[in-house]
């Protein structure tokens, strides 16, 4: 098993101070990713997102308002990517009239990289819309995001 990484970014029409809470406040996080969240945004604090019958679990490693969030990431009950089995680094950089949000998801098992690439391609535009104050369609998990997940 090889550790892989995924990197992506998106421009958000909001300041870093306005976008940052979408990774540190449960209600804001659940508006664009998952159905509900439990967060304790401090080093060692819980980072939990429920998606239908799946749960992402991890811990905050770094919380540096409004520039950077680092969390561990994995799926409850997964052998391939257990809770805390990978690391998500999120940076917020002012760009023009908004923010460039960059994610680097490191330590993904080779079979998980493509699943997470599809997941981030689905969720990052939802983040951009939510943080810019646009109305989102109700959350759902497209089947291609979970095909092959354990």
User: Among 78, 82, 58, which Cα is nearest to 69's?
Assistant: 58
Tokens 């109305």 correspond to 135
> How many domains would you assign to the chain?
1
What CATH code is carried by the domain that includes residue 61? 3.30.530.20
Percent share of the chain, pLDDT over 90: 76
- Note whether residue 75 is domain-resident: yes
- For residue 22, the Cα-to-chain-centroid distance in whole angstroms is 9
CB-CB contact of 146 with 54 (8 Å): yes
Cis before 142? omega within 30: no
- Note whether residue 111 is domain-resident: yes
Q: What is the pLDDT of residues 112-136, one digit of tens each?
A: 888 899 899 999 999 999 999 999 8
Q: What is the pLDDT of residues 65-88, one digit of tens each?
A: 999 999 999 999 999 999 999 999
Q: 78: helix, coil or strand?
A: coil
Q: In whole angstroms, what is the distance from residue 19 CA to residue 146 CA?
A: 27
- Note whether residue 67 is domain-resident: yes
User: Which pLDDT band, with edges at 50, 70 and 90, does 3 fall under?
Assistant: confident
- Note whether residue 150 is domain-resident: no
Residue 71 in tokens: 């969390």
- For residue 12, the Cα-to-chain-centroid distance in whole angstroms is 15
- Note whether residue 83 is domain-resident: yes
Range of the domain at 75: 3-145
């Amino acid at each position: 098993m090889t550790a892989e990484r995924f990197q992506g970014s998106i421009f958000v029409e909001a300041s870093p101070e306005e976008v940052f809470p979408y990774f540190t406040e449960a209600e804001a996080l659940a508006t664009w990713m998952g159905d509900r969240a439990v967060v304790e945004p401090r080093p060692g604090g819980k980072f939990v997102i429920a998606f239908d019958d799946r749960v992402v679990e991890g811990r905050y490693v770094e919380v540096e308002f409004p520039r950077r969030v680092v969390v561990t990431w994995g799926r409850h009950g997964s052998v391939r990517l257990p809770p805390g089995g990978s690391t998500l680094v999120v940076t917020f950089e002012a760009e023009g009239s908004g923010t460039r949000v960059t994610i680097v998801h490191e330590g993904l098992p080779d079979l998980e990289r493509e699943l997470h690439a599809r997941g981030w391609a689905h969720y990052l535009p939802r983040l951009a819309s939510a943080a810019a104050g646009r109305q989102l369609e109700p959350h759902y998990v497209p089947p291609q995001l979970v095909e092959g997940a354990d």
